[in-house]
């Protein structure tokens, strides 16, 4: 189950990025579960990673390698998260890098490893070692769609997106893929995301851009409030363009690239929500009139994580009492409930902290019967707005997570 239609627009290759996809049989036989990215020399790479204190072995290794710079390859496996695996897990992540490095005649430190899947089991190293040469033998710039499929776990759809803009008579392209469906409450980016551009961007500027774009996209979605141990989002700039390098964040082209990368990442983030485990609704929660961003997000996430709100959404029940109760317990200091207004799309359900005059059950029900819904809360105590995207909590969520060992 997933909400709305998948993005089927073709993914545009990025000059300087070549991709290989193959089968290692990590969790299931005969599925593509191993992906390698190769980057042109001189590419800049930036990354953001999970804030979960129990971060997975590949996250530890990728962070280390990223600090050293001059990254030339990424290697991603699905089916096994290599998390909670201690020293052995770190050794396995290092060995994966070393094996790919040997095939590509680069240093192990030039490889970033990523894993997603079940927690607490060791990587099947012989299977990975056996599959890597085949993956490397069939690299192509045109494998973005295959890669989008090759990193999925409980996802029901591949997630990819491309955007382009013109800069100094050159076309700058941004293409990204992501995976994620459950354990989604990015505090960074729950999931794996890989975004590349042919723009020429210095590494520190690229990191700044990624952090900003991430804050507007992956850090604003939640399915179940569970921040994963393996979250990572990588942004690659190959510089394979005649357009000048972007060397300052205070420039129109930086802002243009930030806007474009943000659009790609937001589309990927929203695709993750639409494909949230058991999702039948795609819900935007917008909070306005807050004093601070923290306050706005606290209200938004309290609503977005409330099992009672989420089950009401599943039932297409315009249960404004549960929304109101969630606002009330969100921990906003000295909240004056008599100022709170709430809308479902354009239908006002709460006015000054109580049922809006003229509100009818029929009007509310018509909104929540839709697949896509906006819950808008106005606190009327400040000037700050923010918003997140989430799903409902359905029987299928329970089935998926009571059956799937993740």
- Choices 25-33, 140-148, 246-254, 301-309; region in contact with a copy of itself by CB under 8 A: 301-309
Q: Which residues of 73-105 are buried (b: 16+ CB within 10 A; e: fewer)?
A: bbbbbbbbbbbebeeebbbbbbbbbebbbeebe
Q: Cβ neighbours of residue 183 under 8 Å, at least 6 residues apart?
A: 190, 223, 224, 226, 227, 228, 406
Active-site residue (options: 50, 173, 175, 190): 190
Query: Quick check: is 247 catalytic?
Result: no
Report how far residue 155's alpha carbon sits from residue 190's, in angstroms, rounded to the nearest whole number.
13
Beta bridge partners of 388: 285
Report how far residue 169's alpha carbon sits from residue 172's, in angstroms, rounded to the nearest whole number.
9
Site for a copy of itself in 349-378 (CB under 8 A): 350, 352-355
Beta bridge partners of 394: none
Q: Which is nearer to a copy of itself, 86 or 358 (CB)?
A: 86
Q: Note whether 229 binds a copy of itself by CB under 8 A.
A: yes
Report how far residue 310's alpha carbon sits from residue 306's, in angstroms, rounded to the nearest whole number.
6
Q: Which is nearer to a copy of itself, 76 or 327 (CB)?
A: 327
Q: Note whether 280 binds a copy of itself by CB under 8 A.
A: no
Tokens of 189: 């980016």
Q: Note whether 55 binds a copy of itself by CB under 8 A.
A: yes
Q: Note whether 233 binds a copy of itself by CB under 8 A.
A: no
Edge-to-edge strands of the sheet including 192-197?
A: 44-49, 232-237, 192-197, 170-179, 159-167
Site for a copy of itself in 383-402 (CB under 8 A): 393-395, 397-399, 401-402
Applying CB under 8 A, among 77, 115, 314, 391 the residue interacting with a copy of itself is 314
Report how far apart, in Å, the C-alpha atoms of 26 and of each of 4, 111, 233, 357 are. 31, 20, 22, 58
Neighbour-count burial of 60, counting CB atoms closer than 10 A to its CB (0-12 exposed, 13-18 middle, 19+ buried): middle
Residue 90-129 contact track with a copy of itself, rule CB under 8 A, x = bound: ----------------------------xxx---------
Site for a copy of itself in 181-200 (CB under 8 A): 182-183, 185, 187
Applying CB under 8 A, among 139, 212, 337, 366 the residue interacting with a copy of itself is 337
Neighbour-count burial of 397, counting CB atoms closer than 10 A to its CB (0-12 exposed, 13-18 middle, 19+ buried): buried
Q: Note whether 221 binds a copy of itself by CB under 8 A.
A: no
Applying CB under 8 A, among 38, 44, 214, 227 the residue interacting with a copy of itself is 227
Q: Note whether 325 binds a copy of itself by CB under 8 A.
A: yes
Active site amino acids: 190
Footprint of a copy of itself on this chain (CB under 8 A)? 51-55, 81, 83-86, 89, 118-120, 182-183, 185, 187, 224-229, 305-308, 311-312, 314-315, 317, 319-322, 324-329, 332, 335, 337, 350, 352-355, 393-395, 397-399, 401-403, 405-406
């Amino acid at each position: 189950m997933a909400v709305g239609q998948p993005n089927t627009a073709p993914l545009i290759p990025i000059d300087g990025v070549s991709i290989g996809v193959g089968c290692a049989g990590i969790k299931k036989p005969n599925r593509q579960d191993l992906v390698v990215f190769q980057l042109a020399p001189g590419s800049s790479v930036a990354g953001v990673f999970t804030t979960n204190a129990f971060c997975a072995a590949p996250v530890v290794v990728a962070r280390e390698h990223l600090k050293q710079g001059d990254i030339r390859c990424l290697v991603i496996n699905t089916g096994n998260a290599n998390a909670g695996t201690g020293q052995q897990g770190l050794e396995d992540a290092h060995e994966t890098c070393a094996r790919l490095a040997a095939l590509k005649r680069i240093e192990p430190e030039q490889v970033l490893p990523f894993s997603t899947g079940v927690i607490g089991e060791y990587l099947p190293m012989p299977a990975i070692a056996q599959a890597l040469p085949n993956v490397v033998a069939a690299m192509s710039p045109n494998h973005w769609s295959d890669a989008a499929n090759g990193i999925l776990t409980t996802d029901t759809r591949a997630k990819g997106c491309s955007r382009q803009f013109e800069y100094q008579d050159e076309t700058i392209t941004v293409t990204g893929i992501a995976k994620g469906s459950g354990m989604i409450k990015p505090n960074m980016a729950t999931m794996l995301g890989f975004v590349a551009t042919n723009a020429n961007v210095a590494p520190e500027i690229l990191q700044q851009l990624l952090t900003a774009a991430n804050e507007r996209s992956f850090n604003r979605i939640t399915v179940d409030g569970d921040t994963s141990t393996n979250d990572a989002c990588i942004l690659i700039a190959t510089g394979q363009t005649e357009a000048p390098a972007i060397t300052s964040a205070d420039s129109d082209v930086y802002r243009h690239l930030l806007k474009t990368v943000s659009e790609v990442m937001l589309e990927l983030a929203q695709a993750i929500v639409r494909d949230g485990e058991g999702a039948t609704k795609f819900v935007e929660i917008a909070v306005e009139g807050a004093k601070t961003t923290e306050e706005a997000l606290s209200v938004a996430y309290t609503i977005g994580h409330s099992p009672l709100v989420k089950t009401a959404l599943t039932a297409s029940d315009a249960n404004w009492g549960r929304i109101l109760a969630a606002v009330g317990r969100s921990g906003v200091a000295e909240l004056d409930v008599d100022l709170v207004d709430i809308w479902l799309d354009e239908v006002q359900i709460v006015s000054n902290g109580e049922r809006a005059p003229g509100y009818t059950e029929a009007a509310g029900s018509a909104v929540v019967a839709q697949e896509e819904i906006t819950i808008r809360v106005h606190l009327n105590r400040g000037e700050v707005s923010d918003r997140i995207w989430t799903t409902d909590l359905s029987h299928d969520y329970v089935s998926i997570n009571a059956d799937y060992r993740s």
